[in-house]
Every structure is written in structure tokens, then in C-alpha cells.
Amino acid sequence: MQAAILVFVFIISTSGLVYELIAGTTASYILGDSVAQFSIVIGLYLFAMGCGSFLTRYVTRNIPLIFIRVEVLVGIVGGSSGAILFVFAEHITSFRLLLYTLVLLTGVLVGFEIPLLMRLLKDRLKFEELVSRVLALDYIGALLAALIFPLILVPRLGLIRSGLLFGALNTITALACLKVFPLQNARLIKLEAGIVLVLQVTGAIYSERILNFAEVAFYSEPVVHARSSPYQRIVITARGEEIRLYLNGNLQFSSRDEYRYHEALIHPGLSAVVRPKHVLILGGGDGLAAREVLRYSSVQTITLVDLDSAVTDLFSTHQRLRSLNSASLTSSKMKIVHEDALVWLQNNTQKFDFIAIDFPDPANFSTGKLYTDTMYRLLLSAMSQDCIVALQSTSPFFAPRSFWIIENTVRSVGLFTVPYHAYVPSFGEWGFLLASRKPLFLQNSFPMGLKFASPRTLEQMLDFPQDMRSAETEVNRLNNQILVRVFEGEWGRANNQ
């Protein structure tokens, strides 16, 4: 009997941390800024657990019954929290209110569990043995949850199914407790818990349909492909001939006008390199930047470093996406590496003639580190003497201070820069930078067959109107990440206008 109860402790602790991680991950998917969201969620969750533990002092009777009912409630609230958050994200005025209410409620209920269970065990174990066993299993369960969540649960099961399955574990624990603590009204409790368990298992089986329902409301176009990787939620939508890629709900490109973005990213810099042979692309797992690079016959190798293999696999195998990137990812010149760009640069010994940086915007600290002076110093080691670097640098119109922070940070490591911009209908006015070890002289010749980039459009790209002109800014460093806070503020204001 003692062994069974200690197993309950292990399940309780594992489930509790899984619910916390689901809330934090869902918040970062929908709200962005993962560091802030996880910090707030963890703080509120721990606070609520403390409140729940404190409130158990007022439980003086029917402790087995209350513990079993709490287990069922934890399974209902915590287990369904992921599904609730995704389904209602686009249907309520304050997503944060719903998120934090669920976090607080789940935390209070989880805070009840261990104190009540310890009181149930106090007459069966010595105090010192009770505390050491319960707390040891509690911490071991938390470790297990922390390991399996990113490695197994998110990539293989997804957030909604993981939550419902762990909710089912809590409900099974409640049913098992009826064997250990017989109750007078056990039949009614078994019926209630049985109904909850059936609903949880059914929800887990149909979790993809639940998520698809939520995404139909979230996206204005039909979803044709959706997948969760260990790093992000990948969604492809299509309407007629137009295809769109979304990562964590943020638009990455539309096939209607992506050529403007990628031609602007690649050709002003690459056309200025004399017979480029070796090219490095950081990010760009969709293969669209690589498509533009392959227009240059002198290029012998392209090394593409992208963290998420789910993106490169999708754009290597999906027929419509392969057609969009001209099968660039399966070119014999292509070498694909799945690794964090910062880590890869630290170990790289090769020199490149041209480097294209196509990272997501610095909307959180995990991507913000890729725009720091630390990143650009590492980049120097990969640059040949005549290498030119091209990087996307967010919008100089909607986020001008962010744009010039990036430019200032690149210059801070000793590189010469040339800022430019291009109009992409899906995004508006978008900014780019060229960087090199010596002053740049751009060419007036581009490859044949381009739809947008030309010597004439290049002149327009280099001209900055007064509302996008340079300003004095800070340097974005790894230990302050000022860019993330500025970017969030500027885009927040732009989206509220």
C-alpha cells in the first residue's frame, strides 16, 4: 500500500510540472517572448501552489475523499488547459486573463496534492522517512517531466494530447486511490471519474482535430499542413495558388510576393562578389534564399544551417513547396546542417565568399541572441577577405529603432555596412543590411529572370526617406538583449494602430 501511494506521488509531481510547461509553451507560441511568458507562468504557478498548500490547513475531515476529488479536478483543469487555450485564443478579448486564471487554478489544485497525501501517510511512515521519500519522488518526477516534455511530448504528441493524457493519469490515480482508501460513496466517485477519463482519452485521440479547429479560427486561409517540432509550431496554409508559412503563428512568407523578399536579400550582395564559390545560409530552411543563390553558376557549395529539421524536411519533400523553392534543398551543391547557428559558428573552420542570414525576427531572447555583437564576432571567422554578408533586419518603417540597433551592432564588430530596404506587400517596408570587411561597391548587373531586383530598384532600395532615417542607438549585446525589448515595443505599437 505504501508503495502504491509513493507511485501516486511520482505521477502527481510529473503531471504538475507538465501542466506548467504546457501553459508556458502555449503562452510563448501565442504571445511570443518566451522568456517573459515562462517567467510569469512559473512565478504564478509556484505562488498558486503555495496558496493551495496553505489552504490545506483548513481541511480537517474526509481527507481521502477531498484528495481524490482534487486529483480529478487537477486532471480536468490541468489536462484540458492546452486545449482550452488554443481553442479560445482567437475568441476572447484577453487571452492573458484566461491563461493566468488557468495557471492559478491549476497551481492551487496541485498545491493541495502533496500536503494532503503526506497527511494520509503520516500514520504509516515515520516523519523523517515520510518527508524524505515524498520530496525525493516529487523532485525525481519533476526531472522526468522536464526531460520528456521537449524530447518526447511536444514533438511526438503535441501540447493538447500531452495535457489530456497526463490529465487521464491524474484521473486514474484518483480511481486507484479508491482501492487504497475505501469510501462509502465510492460508486458515485467511480462513475464521475470514469466519465472524466473517457472524455480525456477521447480528447487525446482527437487532439489533432481540436487543434485544427483552433487553427481554422486563427488563420484566415485553409490549413493544409500543421506540425509541432521541438522548436516551434509549423503551419502551411493555402488559398488558390497562394501558399503561406507560419511559425508559431507568425507569417514567414507568402508565395504571392516572397520573391521580392528573397531577391532583395540575396542579389544586391551576391552580385557584388566576384565569382562566388562557397556560400553560407544561416536560417532559410524553406530553401527560398538557396533558390536565388543557385542562379549563380560559379557557386560550388551551399552550406545551410537551420536549427529545425522539420522545416527543411517539409520543404524538401512537399511537392508544392519543392516547386516553390525549385528543389534547392536537394541540389547536389547543398549541404544542410541542423544546429544552432551560434554553436555551429563556434566550431566552424571554413571560409565563405557570401553569407546570407535569414533568421526570424528578434521577437524573443532565443532569436534575439542571433542579432548580438557576439554573433557577429563569430561571423567574422567565417568570412573570407572579400566576403559580403546580407541579413534581414526587420522593418525600418514599423520598427526603425530596431533596424538601426541591428545596423549599429554589426558596425560595432568592425564591419562596414550598407543598409537598404524593399517593399514586400505581405509585410510592408522591409529592411536589410550588407556587411563586409572593407567598403562596398555594389554592381549594376543581376542574374536574368528576376521579377523584382534590378539596377533601378537597387537605387530605390538604397534611398531612405526621412521617416526611416538613421538614429543613434545602442549595441545589442548577449547580456542585455536590448533589441528584443525595443522590437516588442515598436511592433506592439504598430499592431495597435
Per-residue pLDDT of the chain (497 residues; tens, 9 = 90+): 567 777 888 888 899 999 999 998 888 777 766 677 888 999 999 999 999 999 999 998 888 899 999 999 999 999 999 999 988 876 777 888 999 999 999 999 999 998 988 888 777 767 777 778 788 888 898 899 999 998 888 878 888 999 999 999 999 999 988 888 777 778 888 999 999 999 999 999 988 888 777 776 677 788 888 887 877 888 899 999 999 999 877 889 999 999 999 999 999 999 999 999 999 999 999 999 999 999 999 999 999 999 999 999 999 999 999 999 999 999 999 999 999 999 999 999 999 999 999 998 988 788 889 999 999 999 999 999 999 999 999 999 999 999 999 999 999 999 999 999 999 999 999 999 999 999 998 877 899 999 999 989 999 999 999 888 877 788 999 888 899 889 888 887 766 55
Fold of domain 253-496: Rossmann fold (3.40.50)
In words, the CATH class of domain 2-215 is mainly alpha
C-alpha grid cell, residue 108 = 492551487
Phi-psi region of 369 (alpha: psi -120 to 50; beta: other; left: phi over 0): alpha
- Report the C-alpha gap between 124 and 114 in whole angstroms: 15
Show which residues are catalytic. 358
Residue 351: per-residue pLDDT: 97
Residue 18: per-residue pLDDT: 95
Q: By CB neighbour count within 10 A (0-12 exposed, 13-18 middle, 19+ buried), where does 429 fall?
A: middle
Taking a C-beta distance cutoff of 8 angstroms, is the pair 363, 331 a contact? no
Sign of CA dihedral 198, 201, 204, 205: negative
Sign of CA dihedral 345, 308, 476, 429: positive
Domain(s) of CATH 1.20.1250: residues in the chain? 2-215
Residue 495: per-residue pLDDT: 65
